[in-house]
Amino acid sequence: ETGVTQSPTHLIKTRGQQVTLRCSSQSGHNTVSWYQQALGQGPQFIFQYYREEENGRGNFPPRFSGLQFPNYSSELNVNALELDDSALYLCASSSSGGIHEQYFGPGTRLTVT
Amino acid sequence: AQSVTQPDIHITVSEGASLELRCNYSYGATPYLFWYVQSPGQGLQLLLKYFSGDTLVQGIKGFEAEFKRSQSSFNLRKPSVHWSDAAEYFCAVGAQKDYKLSFGAGTTVTVRA
């Protein structure tokens, strides 16, 4: 059984640029949630995708957007990057929409300069 | 809105000693509660969860947690700590018909020889 994978591992971008982060969910899981973890803080919920539809969204601006594909993998897109977007971005998959056991990937470390 | 408080930012414990990490939550209905562990540079690993039933739950790596509704707490314990338990620990709360986990700020555990 393959766990949750994320790519890339690390990324450096310049303020104002756009970035796409990718996540492959665990085998058998149809739900992907994205979280932002700033240094020294707990993860903050960005949004969840369930069967290719956005199932819920946290307190993040519209420049944070996402997609889920038929194979249940997912992308997180961030436009007009700001310095405060520097963080570890975590993807978690689960077997159904809503609150269930969420299994996290290793994360993508984004640095915005 | 649900929230989680982890009162201890940093705990140092001797190897072989017992460990208890505190977690207090705020939520109007019966919460779903989780403990995750994060090693440096890694994603989150689920230690244990509480949905309903027996208020004392067993998890992986010898950890257990007790749900106390009257105190709005879900404290994590381990009888004898190993050096490999040094990590950051996060408590999280969700709701049955919700889609997001709300995390505490985390407790860093240092294990001394």
Confirm or reject contact between B31 and chain A (CB < 8 A): no
Asked if the Cβ–Cβ distance from B90 to A42 is below 8 Å, we say: yes
Confirm or reject contact between B60 and chain A (CB < 8 A): no
Name the residue in chain B with its Cα closest to that of A96: B99
Averaged pLDDT in 10-residue chunks for chain A of 113 residues: 89 98 93 94 94 92 96 96 97 80 93 98
Please report the pLDDT score of residue A47 as a whole number: 95
Structure tokens belonging to residue B26 = 């705020």
The residue type found at B66 is E
DSSP 8-state class, residue A108: E
Please report the pLDDT score of residue A63 as a whole number: 98
Q: Which positions in chain B touch A45 (Cβ < 8 Å)?
A: 100-102
Phi, psi of B100 (to 5 degrees): -125, 155
Name the residue in chain B with its Cα closest to that of A36: B103
Please report the pLDDT score of residue A98 as a whole number: 65
DSSP string, A4-56: -EEE-SEEEE-TT--EEEEEEPPTT--EEEEEEE-TTS--EEEEEEETTEEEE
Q: How confident is the model at residue B2 (pLDDT cuts 50, 70, 90)?
A: confident
Contact between A81 and A16 under an 8 Å Cβ cutoff? The reply is yes
Contact between A8 and A20 under an 8 Å Cβ cutoff? The reply is no
Q: Is the pLDDT of residue B72 over 90?
A: yes
Confirm or reject contact between B46 and chain A (CB < 8 A): yes
Residue B98, CA atoms < 13 Å, CB-side half-sphere: 19
Write the pLDDT tens digit of every residue in B16-67. 999 999 999 998 777 899 999 999 878 899 999 998 888 999 999 999 999 9
